[in-house]
């Protein structure tokens, strides 16, 4: 059973020209979902990960299941204004304009080993900003995992520049 079977392309969503990778069929199949989580966790089982950090919103689903698989806690990174306690924030460029992500200022202890998680890496802008937040808190990022990687975009290279290795389960090499 390949993960690919459970991820469908929705053309022209959310706007014309975008092929949206819809992971909801994967969420709906518990066997495929468990297999996916195991495969995300496999390279990190002996790496001393202490916490998984997931990016709103689909990163919460995979990230919290991954945290359970690795028997560690979970930390959310959210859109602005959603986290109730003191936060730090990081902005990043979009095609038009900028976006911002936030983390609780006390969510990561200095030196803590962190595994980043999201459903998909495209340009890498979102997870790059997320990694910068963790690095501001002096977390030690051991890797970043994704179900899908759009490898025709420079996401992996962006993370490499931050010293973060990427692990993905499904490679999409063309638009």
Which of the following is catalytic: 34, 45, 50, 58? 58
Query: Do 92 and 102 meet the contact criterion of CB atoms below 8 Å apart?
Result: no
Taking a C-beta distance cutoff of 8 angstroms, is the pair 32, 26 a contact?
Answer: yes
Q: How far is the CB of 21 from ligand AMP (least distance, A)?
A: 4
Residues between 30 and 89 that touch ligand AMP (CB under 6 A): 55, 58
- State in angstroms the smallest separation of the CB of 175 from ligand AMP: 9
Q: Taking CB under 6 A as the rule, does residue 119 contact ligand AMP?
A: yes
Q: Which stretch binds ligand AMP (CB under 6 A): 35-43, 63-71, 119-127, 159-167?
A: 119-127
Active site residue 95: yes
- Of residues 118, 130, 133, 144, which one binds ligand AMP by CB under 6 A? 118
Provide the Cα torsion 130, 149, 24, 82; round to 10°: 10
CA distances from 94 to 43, 100, 122, 123, 143 (A): 31, 10, 12, 9, 24
**Which of the stretches 14-22, 25-33, 80-88, 103-111 binds ligand AMP when contact is defined by CB under 6 A?**
14-22
Which residues of 56-112 form beta strands (DSSP E)? 73-77, 87-93, 98-104
Q: Which is nearer to ligand AMP, 120 or 170 (CB)?
A: 120
Instruction: State the DSSP code for 133.
Output: H
**Which residues are catalytically annotated?**
58, 95
């Amino acid at each position: 059973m390949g993960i690919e079977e459970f991820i469908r392309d929705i053309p022209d969503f959310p706007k014309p020209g975008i092929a949206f990778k819809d992971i909801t069929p994967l969420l709906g199949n518990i066997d495929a979902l468990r297999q996916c989580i195991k495969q995300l966790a496999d390279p990190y089982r002996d790496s001393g990960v202490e916490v998984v950090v997931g990016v709103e919103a689909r990163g919460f689903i995979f990230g919290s299941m991954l945290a359970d698989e690795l028997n560690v806690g979970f930390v959310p990174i959210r859109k602005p204004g959603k986290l109730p306690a003191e936060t730090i924030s990081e902005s990043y460029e979009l095609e038009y304009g900028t976006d911002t992500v936030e983390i609780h200022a006390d969510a990561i202890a200095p030196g803590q080993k962190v595994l980043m998680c999201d459903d998909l890496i495209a340009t890498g802008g979102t997870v790059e900003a997320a990694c910068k937040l963790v690095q501001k808190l002096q977390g030690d990022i051991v890797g970043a995992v994704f179900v899908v990687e759009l490898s025709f975009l420079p996401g992996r290279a962006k993370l490499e520049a931050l010293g973060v290795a990427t692990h993905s389960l499904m490679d999409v090499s063309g638009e």
